[in-house]
Structure 1
Amino acid sequence: MNTIVDTNYNFPNQKSVYKGKVREVYSINDELLVMIATDRLSAFDVVMPRGIPFKGQILNQIATKMMKATEDLVPNWLIATPDPNVAVGHLCSPFKVEMVIRGYLSGHAAREYKTGKRMLCGVDMPEGMKENDKFPEPIITPSTKADNGEHDEDISREEILSKGIVSEEDYVILEEYTRKLFQRGSEIATERGLILVDTKYEFGKTKEGEIVLIDEIHTPDSSRYFYAEGYEERQQKGESQKQLSKEFVRQWLISNGFQGKEGQQIPEMTDEYIHSVSERYIELYENITGIPFEKGDVTNIEQRIEKNVLAYL
Structure 2
Amino acid sequence: MKMVYEGKTKDVFELEDGNVLLKFKDDVTGEDGVFDPGANTVGLTIDGAGKAGLKLTTLFFEKLKEKNIPTHYISADFEQTTMTVLPATVFGEGLEVICRFRATGSFLRRYGKYAEEGQKLDSFVEVTLKDDERNDPPISKDALHMLGILTAEEYDSLKQLTIDISNVVKDELIIKGIELYDIKLEFGRDKSGSIMLIDEISGGNMRAYKAGEYIEPLTLGKIMTAE
User: Aligning the two structures, in what range does the TM-score lie when normalised by the shorter sequence?
Assistant: 0.7 to 0.9
- Given candidates 229, 232, 242, the residue that maps to 2:213 is 242
Work out whether 1:82 is the aligned partner of 2:77.
Answer: yes
Q: CA deviation at 1:150?
A: 6.3
Quote the residue 1:182 is aligned against: 166
Counterpart AA for 2:125: I
Q: Secondary structure in 2 aligned to 1:41?
A: strand
CA distance in structure 2 between the partners assigned to 1:106 and 1:242 by the alignment = 14
Distance in 2 (alpha carbons) for counterparts of 1:162 and 1:156: 10
Residue of structure 2 equivalent to 1:156: 140
| Aligned 8 A contact 1:30 1:91 in 2 | no
Kindly indicate which of the two structures has a greater share of residues assigned to strand: 2
1:285 and 2:221 aligned: yes
Q: Secondary structure at the match of 2:20?
A: strand
Structure 2 counterparts to residues 129-148 of structure 1, below 5 A: 129-135=115-121, 137-146=122-131
Cα distance change on mapping 1:77 and 1:186 into 2, 3 Å: same
The one-character-per-residue Cα deviations of 1:240-277 (angstroms, maximum 9, x if unpaired) are x4112xxxxxxxxxxxxxxxxxxxxxxxxxxxxxxxxx
TM-score normalized with structure 2 length: 0.87
Q: Aligned partners of 1:41 and 1:191: how far apart in 2?
A: 25
Give the TM-score normalised by the residue count of structure 1: 0.64
Provide the C-alpha distance between the structure 2 equivalents of 1:204 and 1:30, rounded to a whole number of angstroms: 20
Name the CA distance, whole Å, in 2 between partners of 1:97 and 1:161: 13
- Runs of 5+ consecutive residues of structure 2 not aligned to the other structure: 31-38
- Judge conservation of contact 1:204–1:214 (CA < 8 Å) in 2: yes
1:100 counterpart residue number: 98
| Structure-2 residue corresponding to 1:207 | 191
Number of equivalences = 215
Gapped runs of 5+ residues in structure 1?
Answer: 1-10, 117-126, 230-240, 245-279, 293-313
Q: Distance in 2 between matches of 1:281 and 1:199?
A: 12
Share of identical aligned residues, percent? 23
SS in structure 1 at match of 2:26: coil
User: How far has the Cα of 1:156 moved from its partner?
Assistant: 1.6
**Max radius of gyration: which structure?**
1
Q: Cα RMSD (Å) of the superposition?
A: 1.9
What is the alpha-carbon distance in structure 2 between the residues aligned to residue 153 and residue 133 of structure 1? 23
Tell me which of 104, 107, 111 is aligned to 1:113: 111
The 2-side partners of 1:288 and 1:155 are apart by: 33
1:212 partner letter: M
Per the alignment, in what secondary structure is the counterpart of residue 187 of structure 2?
strand
